[in-house]
Structure 1
Amino acid sequence: MSARAAIAGVIAAGFVMAHPAHGGAATLRNATVIASGTVRLSDLFADLEPGQDQVLGPAPAPGASIQVGGGQLMAIADQYGVDWLDRSPSAMTTITRAGRILDKTFFSELVRKNLPDIGSGPVSVALVNFHPIMVAPDDPRPIVLSDVDWDQRSGWFSATAYRSQPTGDATQDSFLLTGTVHAARRVLVFAHALPAGAVLSASDLQMDDAYTGHIASRAFTDAGDVDGMTLTRGVVAGEAVLDQDLHRTVLMHKGDPVLVAFTAPGVHLTATGRVLDDGGAGQYVRALNLASGMIVTGRVTNASEIEVEAGSGAVRSDPGVLRRLTASARDDARATLSLR
């Protein structure tokens, strides 16, 4: 039963004096804020006689108000024997139920408490189509979650939220809570905004020990792994460095002349060659040693040099390798000129 209906019920019970009038005069409260779940006679009138106070009915929902007009007030006063000072049919009083708002912060913490596998570190909770709700200020556990489902890979979660003290309104007493939850991770992030095509260096990166954003692919934790790589899209400061946004910067192309360096303890030899593969910094490519005709494998150290490690094997090339490389280089040059 609503608070208004409860008070109307008091009136409907008749205008019979349930208690004799008292000598002292009560005064009407023009506005009252109550904390309990019931409306009492003393919420309408001050200065009642001892023992005269009575429960009239249920209070409005937390945060809601009801108004009681002069006709109802006079009927209630007659019903309970209240000698009301300045009695008037034009009088009006408002009763408001105190409440507290449960906002995103409350629900984010509630979600975290219901995900035991998320750990104790920082957590990012983003709620979808969220609307704050009002509850009683003294309710220690106003909301209970059930049917909690969390996909750790995507971060998506859903749960059914129930009021521990139902209002009687089915649309308000339970609702679906959805969003994303991501636990903190230690990852590299961009130190500042960068455009697509930018080649990364150490100054473009920094470590975030408590990153809570969504990570859609492999995230890097070592700046050395991405040094010299190229961005495939523009990024902003604080974004995680992901492999899907990077590609290896090509420093040398198939057919380019290259210096082949042989390194061993106490020995450093070099020879001229032609690279057989496209290669970026740190990648291993094959190259033809022009002096020996052998094909070796080395690591790209810069745009014109590869380093062959001690013990690395070599295979003999066929006589047509250099001819094919030369022809390929000429074709590439013609294609470049035709595009200009």
Structure 2
Amino acid sequence: MRASLAALAVALLLPGLADAATLRASVEVDAPMVTLADLIADAPLDVDLSLAVGAAPQPGRRAVFSGQQVLDLAKAAGIGIDGTVPRAITVARSGRAVPQAELQARVADALLEAGAELADVRQIQFNANDRAALQVARDAEPVASVESVDWDAQTGRFVAQVRLEGMERAVPVAGRTIRVAQLPVLRAAVAMGQVIGDAEIDYVEVPAYRVSRVALLDAGQIVGQAARRPLRPGVALTANDLRRPVVIAKGSLVTMVVQAAAMTLTATGKAMEDGGQGDLIRIQNPSSNKIVQGKVTGPDRVEVVIAANIIN
């Protein structure tokens, strides 16, 4: 009975030691300094928890504090700790990440100043761990500045020294640039024989290393040409996909023109194949059934290349 009364007396005289406060094993903080208030749960209301334990990690990072060290500080503040004392307490600092587009824009500017071309910086990739480490405090604006950049034009790899608001010094951020090409492609599917106009052309941006050597890079090589076969939208085109528009259809009657000295002779022939402007096609002379070659010079009109015995 006497022992119980003694314990009650101690509890009444030292209320701070009577409450069952516990140490947190992990916690997330916003401030740059970690205090007892961050690390102790269920502390009595009449104790000062503002005692600093140590500096918080950088935003977005973690740090580990000794559980024994925090226990000693709590005792010094008159706070009794109940329960198991964790060997280590993990403290994470909350933060705001720099938007990737913002970081890409800042690095692109630095690369252009370092001699890169616009096509080199259209696609920029970062080391995931380096970018994740670029965070600022929640109440700060995530604005980045690039102090310097080391770039290898051959491999595209770079290391940029990036500083954020509140940082004492810049941190390295590694990544690589991917050179891109603007490819003219079709907006929609095109049927075989359809002539392609300006309205049918769109552009896509692709890594230059993926562009085939035979791909057409100039829309001028496509506009005005006809599809040799049905063509899909959004893919690179080659010369084999296109042909001159058909102005003479296979089986149609054409006017064959033969230049002979000062005379111009004409005769009617039959086209043995389709032909576009400037194409050489086979023509049959109905009178002799002979086959000759003619160059298409216009609708239903060819200039005969081999003139012997075609007009009887």
Alignment of 1:140 with 2:143, yes or no, is yes
2:206 is paired with a residue whose SS is coil
1:213 is paired with a residue whose SS is strand
Measured after TM superposition, the shift of residue 98 of structure 1 is 1.4
Q: Contact 1:24 / 1:83 at 8 angstroms: preserved in 2? A: no
Deviations 1:26-82 (A, max 9, x none): 9667454334555445543577649x633624626724353653x33222334xx31
- Partner of 2:260 in structure 1? none
Rounded Cα–Cα distance in structure 1 between residues aligned with 2:53 and 2:196: 72
- Partner of 1:213 in structure 2? 206
- Partner of 1:73 in structure 2? 70
Q: Contact 1:157 / 1:179 at 8 angstroms: preserved in 2? A: yes
Rounded Cα–Cα distance in structure 1 between residues aligned with 2:190 and 2:296: 34
Number of matched residues? 254
Q: Contact 1:39 / 1:56 at 8 angstroms: preserved in 2? A: yes
Measured after TM superposition, the shift of residue 283 of structure 1 is 3.0
- Partner of 1:15 in structure 2? none
Rounded Cα–Cα distance in structure 2 between residues aligned with 1:245 and 1:54: 74
Q: How does 1:17-32 map onto structure 2 within 5 Å?
A: 25=16, 30=24, 32=27
Q: Contact 2:277 / 2:298 at 8 angstroms: preserved in 1? A: yes
Measured after TM superposition, the shift of residue 306 of structure 1 is 3.5
1:271 to 257, 267, 271: 267
Q: Contact 1:37 / 1:58 at 8 angstroms: preserved in 2? A: yes
Q: Contact 2:110 / 2:146 at 8 angstroms: preserved in 1? A: no
Rounded Cα–Cα distance in structure 2 between residues aligned with 1:270 and 1:54: 105
Flag the 1:316–1:129 CA change in 2: closer, same or farther, 3 A.
Answer: same
Letter in 1 for 2:69: Q
Q: What's the TM-score once normalised by structure 1's chain length?
A: 0.51
Rounded Cα–Cα distance in structure 1 between residues aligned with 2:73 and 2:143: 34
2:277 is paired with a residue whose SS is coil
Deviations 1:97-121 (A, max 9, x none): 11344575455444443454539xx
Alignment of 1:243 with 2:242, yes or no, is no
Letter in 2 for 1:237: P
Flag the 1:88–1:28 CA change in 2: closer, same or farther, 3 A.
Answer: closer
- Partner of 1:98 in structure 2? 94
Rounded Cα–Cα distance in structure 1 between residues aligned with 2:198 and 2:186: 9
Flag the 1:25–1:300 CA change in 2: closer, same or farther, 3 A.
Answer: farther
Alignment of 1:44 with 2:47, yes or no, is no
- Partner of 1:159 in structure 2? 158
Q: Contact 1:190 / 1:239 at 8 angstroms: preserved in 2? A: no
Alignment of 1:118 with 2:121, yes or no, is no
1:229 to 227, 230, 239: 227
Alignment of 1:88 with 2:82, yes or no, is yes
Flag the 1:98–1:73 CA change in 2: closer, same or farther, 3 A.
Answer: same
Q: What's the TM-score once normalised by structure 2's chain length?
A: 0.54
- Partner of 2:255 in structure 1? 260
Measured after TM superposition, the shift of residue 96 of structure 1 is 1.4
Rounded Cα–Cα distance in structure 2 between residues aligned with 1:282 and 1:211: 30
Q: Contact 1:298 / 1:307 at 8 angstroms: preserved in 2? A: yes
Alignment of 1:191 with 2:184, yes or no, is no
Deviations 1:165-220 (A, max 9, x none): 8xxxxxxx6464124243767x44241498xxx55444997233x63235733335
Rounded Cα–Cα distance in structure 2 between residues aligned with 1:130 and 1:281: 54
Measured after TM superposition, the shift of residue 248 of structure 1 is 2.5
Rounded Cα–Cα distance in structure 1 between residues aligned with 2:190 and 2:153: 32
Measured after TM superposition, the shift of residue 272 of structure 1 is 2.3
Q: Contact 1:64 / 1:96 at 8 angstroms: preserved in 2? A: yes
- Partner of 2:180 in structure 1? 182
Flag the 1:273–1:88 CA change in 2: closer, same or farther, 3 A.
Answer: same
Deviations 1:105-145 (A, max 9, x none): 455444443454539xxx85264885652333236327666
Q: Percent identity, aligned pairs only?
A: 14
Letter in 2 for 1:148: W
